[in-house]
């Protein structure tokens, strides 16, 4: 029965999925980031080479070589080895690159991936790695129990007469559970003492495995040709052949084993193919991260990991290649296909191979247990799952995470109750391959991001190697089991989302930000302003905000108005940098960004320091944006005497536990907390901005070629109330949503132009708002002001309707007769304009504009209008707008005249704008200077 020991273990490791990975799961996370170097005791040999060799050899070297050669032949076997080792070598290059890129602390694979790709990606991979180690430990314990019972267990009643004296161990579910618990407890004791005892234990196991390998190589040369008795379980129903030949070195045997001969696997009954055999071989070549996972216990990880890992990979490749050649040269095909335990049968001392299998299985179980505990300790230190893993942080005086070891041991014990792990075994293997793929992806992302600090001293690494390693691991995952591959990816995605919502913001750095920066810079350079065209115009807005507490409604409205364009929140702090020790604005960025997140708007923040508001706005207009992404529209709050309201009072940030009206927590220990934003201005407090300076800002923006909009009464704008209304079933009385547009310059009645740059810009903004998803149910109302009986009425109506059709804009056109209002204007001007009433000559209008000096540098200006207008006329215009605003619109768009060129008229101009927009509700007074509409496509 002794010859069946490797056979039973092979059934566990091939037909059920995973193979002994030993050191592949060792992490060596015994300490935190502040650990003293004196506690790092392991060098290249004990810390990297031995764990990696044991991980890659394990029981594979005793059980898989004959299987692969017997099914695939020597040629295909060598080809499989080359392909498999090419894939894992590419991954080893990635490991070496990260391990030589600066200091590498405790954490191994989890530390590498999380610090490169961020907490979500690293944490999800770390949890999967932890669960794979837990299940893998239970798997190897149960496999070892089966192997022991196959040699020392009580035989069945039919074979009781021929039973040997050593076959006395009782079997059964509870007995197997007891044996597994005892073996697991021995592993637990070793791991509980610490990594140094584990290293000594693995060294002893390594000596045993090397001794067994030496005996195997020696046996090929010293054992005489003989007939080998095949195991009973390997005999097929259609044959009575019970023996096969070990021929020794014979060319006939070698020729017979050169080519493939895929047949039925006697342990599973499945017909083998190149893919299935390659999957078995590849599973035996993994475990390459054993040394890197001991990073926390290595004296010099950057030195030890590359040299030790590459040494182990090269050694195992040579060993597998030689064993394949010797097996093909000395054993006939039938022996290799029917007896996977043939190495024990032809050994100079057959029990030697059994001892090697027991030792390697124990090493695999022990390494999985210590690996799981170190990963759990790393996860707990990083607080990725909040306080759920707080207990796992505890360590002993020697920095051994004994609580993590205890938790891992208990979880393995729970898995042991399953008795068999056939269901879990396949996905455990996929978990390990997914970790390797993630490691290659981390290196690939760092290389793509062109991060200046990614300078590995390992020179064999390029983006080609990590790409090949990443693709190779993915291919192997689906080759081994496509179902388990999809399941593991889905599980990782679930963990990713869970950690994203539960995990705290880390200071590790996010590779996604580096990649985004790299791509944004590249595309910004490609965004050539010389190729701008009016048909691709979009609003790019700079909204000036003095105190965001008073204008949250305006900020949310402009977010809808930007139409996927650039949106910048600008703020000016008055003062000078002279005498300051540091930038006074740097600490305020977090508050503004928190506000952007809170309001759920897509905006950038730009703060500046200036001696006046006017100079600050000029600075922002000059410097905001990059290349082709620069603000083309300046939006200001209206200048009036209304008392501001605090809209952020009692508001709480969704990402934190503190409110926007409370103090912002200190970012550094010992730093005093600061308020998010200052309190609103009181009724008696003076303003930082005077009337003349305010109008000067408007004039400056127009000079710089920027469109200007003045926003008034948006403190009354509540987006949720306006857009969140839903009609109750059967109720048709709910007020509809309207957006009103008045495209004529209402303060200059003798300018009969509805189709000019400013009017079209006004109409375009309203249309952009209407096309926004939240506003697509609103109805545009376009108001045309005409004189009763005038010939211009029909002409303007047709012109506007034709324009709307050409521009594909749906709007309700309303004709407004305003003879009485216009009469007030001409009364002040002494009836001069009466003669022109009813004229439809656009050329005459242009001539009059030129005569009055109203065309300056291609921009319409009205330097003399302020002296011609009366408060009575403007109030009449305001009343006209109010009368034709039923039902009341959600927002109005009005024509904003160009500010006068005479600075002495600035106060009068602002007073007139105040009368024009008084009590109109949320209103946007717009002055456009750039073409934004074309009918040619």
Span 542-593, pLDDT tens digits: 999 998 888 888 999 999 998 778 999 999 998 888 878 888 888 888 888 8
Residue 99, token pair as written in the block: 């391990």
Q: What share of the chain is helix, strand, coil (3-state, %, to 5)?
A: 55, 10, 35
pLDDT cut 70: percent of the chain above it:
78
Does 830 score more than 60 pLDDT?
no
> What does the pLDDT look like over 282-315, one tens digit per residue?
867 777 877 776 676 778 888 888 999 999 999 9
Residues making up the chain, counted from first to last: 937
H/E segment holding residue 366: helix 351-382
Pick from 271, 361, 335, 286: nearest CA to 6: 361
How does pLDDT run across 388-420, given as a tens digit for each residue? 777 888 888 777 788 888 999 999 998 888 766
Helix (H) or strand (E) holding 542: strand 541-544
Sorted by where each begins, the domain ranges of the chain are 44-155+168-232+241-502, 538-644+687-711, 734-828+865-936
| CB distance 51 to 367 below 8 Å | yes
User: Three-state DSSP class for 927?
Assistant: strand
Choice among 471-485, 836-850, 914-928 with the minimum mean pLDDT: 836-850
CB–CB of 368/21 below 8 Å?
yes
Lowest mean pLDDT among 212-216, 228-232, 299-303: 228-232
Range name among 230-234, 637-641, 660-664, 839-843 with the lowest pLDDT average: 839-843
pLDDT band at 734 (very low <50, low <70, confident <90, very high): very low
315, 309 Cβ separation under 8 angstroms: no
CB of 519 closer than 8 Å to CB of 650: no
Higher pLDDT, 868 or 49: 49
Phi and psi at 174, nearest 5°, equal -70, -35
- Give the model's confidence band at 15: pLDDT under 50 very low, under 70 low, under 90 confident, else very high: very low
Cβ–Cβ under 8 Å, residues 543 and 555: yes
C-alpha triplet 447, 448, 453: angle, nearest 5°: 45
Higher pLDDT pick, 793 / 780? 780
Helix (H) or strand (E) holding 711: strand 707-712
Residue with the bigger pLDDT between 744 and 793: it is 744
CA-based R_g, the chain, Å: 40
Four-way CATH pick for 44-155+168-232+241-502: 3.40.640.10, 2.60.120.10, 1.20.1740.10, 1.10.3720.10: 1.20.1740.10
- Tens of pLDDT, residue by residue over 96-121, are 888 887 666 656 677 777 777 777 77
Band (859; pLDDT cuts 50, 70, 90): very low
Tokens of 465: 């190697």
pLDDT at position 429 = 74
- Output the pLDDT for position 423: 53
Return the exposure string of 532-543: e unless at least 16 CB atoms fall within 10 Å of the residue's CB, then b: eeeeebebbbbb
Check if the beta carbon of residue 22 is closer than 8 Å to that of residue 51: yes
Q: What are the phi and psi torsion angles at 677 (to 5°)? A: -140, 150
Q: What is the pLDDT of residue 775?
A: 87
Confidence of residue 802 (pLDDT cuts 50, 70, 90): confident
Of residues 74 and 201, more confidence is placed in 74
The dihedrals phi and psi of 346, each to the nearest 5 degrees, come to -105, 10
Residue pair 906/695 in contact by the 8 Å Cβ criterion: yes
- pLDDT of 163 over the 60 cut: no
What's residue 541's pLDDT? Answer: 93
DSSP string spanning 654-705? TTSSSBTTSEEPPSSTTPPPEESSPPPPPTTPPPSS-HHHHHHHHHHHHHTT
As a whole number of angstroms, the distance between CA 76 and CA 251 comes to 18
Contact 350, 3 (CB under 8 A): yes
d(CA 273, CA 294): 37
Residue 11: its pLDDT value, please?
32
Q: At residue 89, what are phi and psi to the nearest 5 degrees?
A: -70, -40
Question: Is the predicted pLDDT of residue 849 greater than 90, yes or no?
Answer: no
Is residue 162 pLDDT above 60, yes or no?
no
Q: What pLDDT does 791 receive?
A: 56
For the ranges 309-318, 510-519, 724-733, the lowest mean pLDDT is seen at: 724-733
Q: Determine the angle formed by the axes of helices 173-193 and 119-152, rounding to 10 degrees.
A: 130
Separation of alpha carbons 476 and 278, rounded Å: 9
On the question of a common fold for 538-644+687-711 and 734-828+865-936, the answer reads: yes
For residue range 589-634, list pLDDT tens digits in order. 888 888 898 888 999 999 999 999 999 999 999 988 887 888 999 9
Q: What is the Cα 181 distance to its own chain's centre?
A: 41
Query: Using one digit for the tens of pLDDT, what is the confidence trace for 631-669?
Result: 999 999 999 888 788 888 766 655 444 455 554 444 444
CATH class of 538-644+687-711: alpha beta
Choose the most confident range, by mean pLDDT, from 165-169, 804-808, 864-868, 931-935.
804-808
For 25-88, give the DSSP string.
Answer: G-----S-TT--GGG--B-HIIIIIHHHHHHHHTTHHHHHHHHHHHHHHHHHHHHHHHHHHHHH
> So what's the pLDDT on residue 82?
93
Residues 6 or more apart whose CB falls under 8 angstroms from that of 550 comprise 644, 645, 646, 647, 680, 715
Q: What is the mean pLDDT of the chain?
A: 78
Q: What distance in Å separates the CA atoms of residue 205 and residue 53, rounded to the nearest whole number?
A: 11
The per-residue pLDDT for range 366-396, each reduced to its tens digit, is 888 887 888 888 888 887 776 677 788 888 8
Three-class SS state of 374: helix
Is the separation of the CB atoms in 271 and 262 below 8 Å? yes
Closest residue by Cα to residue 14 from 60, 61, 69? 60
Peptide bond before residue 887 is cis, with ω within 30 degrees of 0: yes
Q: Choose among 320, 246, 358: nearest CA to 78.
A: 320
DSSP state of 652: B
pLDDT above 90: residue 124: no
Other Cβ atoms less than 10 A from the Cβ of 600: the count is: 9
Looking from the CA of 268 toward its CB, the CA atoms found within 13 Å total 18
Q: Report DSSP state, residue 771.
A: H
Q: What's the Cα-to-Cα distance from 617 to each of 473, 545, 550, 711, 720, rounded to whole Å?
A: 55, 11, 19, 16, 31
Interatomic CA distance for residues 662 and 652, integer angstroms: 9
**pLDDT at residue 268 is higher than 80:** no
Task: Provide the terminal-to-terminal Cα distance of the chain, rounded to the nearest Å.
Answer: 85
Q: Residue 350 pLDDT more than 60?
A: yes
Q: d(Cα 155, Cα 259) in Å, to the nearest integer?
A: 40
Cβ atoms of 196 and 29 closer than 8 Å:
no
Residue 362, token pair as written in the block: 């124990």
CATH number, domain 734-828+865-936:
3.40.50
Can you give the pLDDT at residue 412? 92
């Amino acid at each position: 029965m002794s010859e069946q020991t490797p056979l039973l273990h092979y059934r566990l490791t091939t037909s059920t999925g995973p193979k002994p990975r030993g050191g592949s799961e060792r992490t060596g996370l015994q300490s935190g980031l502040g650990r003293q170097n004196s506690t790092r005791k392991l060098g290249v040999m004990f810390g990297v080479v031995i764990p990696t060799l044991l991980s890659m050899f394990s029981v594979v070297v005793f059980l898989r070589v004959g299987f692969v050669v017997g099914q695939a032949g020597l040629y295909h076997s060598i080809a499989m080895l080359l392909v498999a080792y090419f894939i894992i070598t590419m991954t080893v290059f990635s490991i070496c690159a990260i391990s030589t890129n600066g200091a590498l602390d405790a954490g191994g694979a989890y530390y590498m991936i999380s610090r490169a790709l961020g907490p979500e990606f690293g944490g999800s991979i770390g949890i999967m790695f932890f669960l794979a180690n837990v299940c893998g430990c239970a798997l190897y314990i149960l496999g070892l129990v089966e192997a022991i019972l196959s040699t020392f267990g009580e035989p069945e009643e039919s074979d009781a007469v021929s039973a040997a004296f050593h076959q006395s161990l009782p079997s059964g579910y509870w007995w197997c559970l007891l044996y597994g618990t005892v073996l697991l407890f021995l592993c637990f004791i070793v791991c509980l003492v610490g990594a140094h005892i584990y290293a000594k234990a693995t060294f002893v196991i390594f000596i045993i495995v090397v001794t067994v390998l030496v005996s195997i190589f020696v046996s090929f040369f010293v054992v005489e040709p003989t007939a080998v008795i095949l195991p009973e379980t390997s005999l097929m129903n259609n044959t009575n052949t019970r023996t096969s030949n070990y021929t020794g070195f014979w060319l006939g045997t070698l020729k017979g084993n050169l080519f493939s001969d895929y047949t039925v696997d006697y342990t599973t009954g499945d017909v083998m193919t190149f893919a299935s055999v390659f999957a078995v071989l590849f599973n035996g070549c993994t475990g390459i991260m054993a040394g890197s996972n001991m990073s926390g216990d290595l004296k010099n990880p950057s030195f030890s990991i590359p040299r030790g890992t590459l040494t182990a990979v090269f050694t195992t490749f040579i060993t597998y290649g030689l064993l394949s050649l010797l097996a093909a040269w000395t054993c006939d095909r039938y022996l290799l296909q029917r007896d996977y335990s043939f190495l024990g049968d032809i050994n100079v001392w057959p029990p030697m191979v059994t001892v090697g299998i027991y030792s390697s299985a124990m090493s695999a179980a022990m390494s999985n247990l210590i690996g799981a505990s170190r990963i759990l300790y790393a996860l707990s230190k990083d607080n990725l799952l909040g306080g759920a893993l707080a207990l796992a942080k505890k360590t002993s005086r020697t920095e051994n995470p004994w609580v993590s070891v205890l938790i891992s041991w208990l979880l393995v014990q729970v898995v042991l109750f399953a008795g068999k792990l056939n269901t879990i075994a396949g996905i455990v293997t996929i978990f390990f391959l997914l970790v390797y793929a993630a490691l290659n992806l981390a290196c690939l992302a760092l290389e793509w991001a062109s991060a200046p600090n990614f300078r590995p001293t390992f020179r064999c690494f390029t983006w080609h190697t990590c790409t090949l390693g990443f693709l190779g691991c993915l291919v192997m995952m689906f080759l081994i089991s496509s179902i388990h591959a999809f399941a593991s990816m889905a599980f990782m995605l679930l963990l990713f989302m869970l950690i994203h919502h539960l995990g705290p913001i880390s200071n590790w750095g996010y590779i996604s930000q580096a990649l985004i920066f790299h791509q944004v810079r590249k595309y910004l350079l490609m965004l050539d302003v010389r190729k701008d065209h009016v048909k691709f115009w979009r609003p790019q807005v700079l909204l000036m905000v003095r105190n965001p507490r008073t204008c949250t409604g305006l900020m949310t409205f402009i977010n809808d108005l930007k139409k996927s364009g650039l949106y910048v929140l600008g703020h000016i702090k008055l003062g000078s940098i002279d005498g300051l020790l540091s930038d006074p604005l740097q600490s305020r960025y977090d508050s503004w960004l928190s506000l952007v997140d809170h309001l759920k708007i897509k905006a950038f923040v730009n703060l500046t320091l200036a001696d006046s508001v006017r100079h600050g706005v000029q600075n922002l207009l000059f410097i905001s944006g990059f290349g082709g992404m620069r603000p083309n529209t300046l939006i200001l709050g209206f200048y009036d005497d209304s008392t501001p309201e605090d809209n952020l009072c009692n508001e709480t940030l969704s990402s934190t536990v503190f409110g926007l009206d409370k103090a912002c927590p200190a970012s550094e220990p010992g730093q005093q907390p600061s308020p998010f934003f200052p309190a609103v201005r009181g009724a008696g407090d003076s303003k930082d901005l005077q009337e003349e300076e305010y109008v000067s800002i408007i004039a400056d923006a127009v000079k710089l070629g920027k469109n200007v909009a003045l926003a008034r009464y948006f403190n009354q704008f509540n987006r949720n109330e306006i857009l969140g209304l839903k009609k109750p079933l059967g109720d048709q009385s709910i007020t509809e949503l309207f957006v009103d547009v008045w495209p004529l310059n209402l303060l200059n009645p003798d300018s009969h132009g509805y189709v000019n740059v400013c009017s079209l810009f006004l109409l375009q903004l309203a249309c952009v708002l209407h096309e926004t998803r939240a506003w697509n149910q609103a109805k545009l109302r376009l108001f045309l002001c005409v004189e009763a009986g005038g010939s211009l009425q029909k002409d303007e109506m047709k012109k506007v309707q034709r324009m709307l059709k050409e521009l594909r804009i749906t709007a309700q056109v309303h004709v407004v007769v305003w003879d009485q209002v216009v009469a007030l204007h001409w009364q002040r001007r002494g009836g001069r304009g009466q003669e022109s009433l009813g004229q439809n000559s656009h050329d005459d209008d242009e001539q009059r504009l030129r005569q009055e000096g109203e065309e300056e540098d291609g921009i319409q200006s009205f330097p003399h209008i302020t002296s011609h207008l009366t408060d009575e006329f403007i109030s009449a215009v305001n009343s006209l707008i109010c009368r034709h605003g039923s039902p009341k619109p959600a927002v109005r768009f009005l024509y904003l005249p160009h500010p006068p060129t005479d600075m002495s008229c600035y106060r009068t101009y602002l007073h007139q704008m105040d009368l024009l927009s008084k009590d109109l509700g949320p209103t946007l007074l717009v002055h456009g200077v750039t073409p934004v509409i074309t009918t040619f496509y």
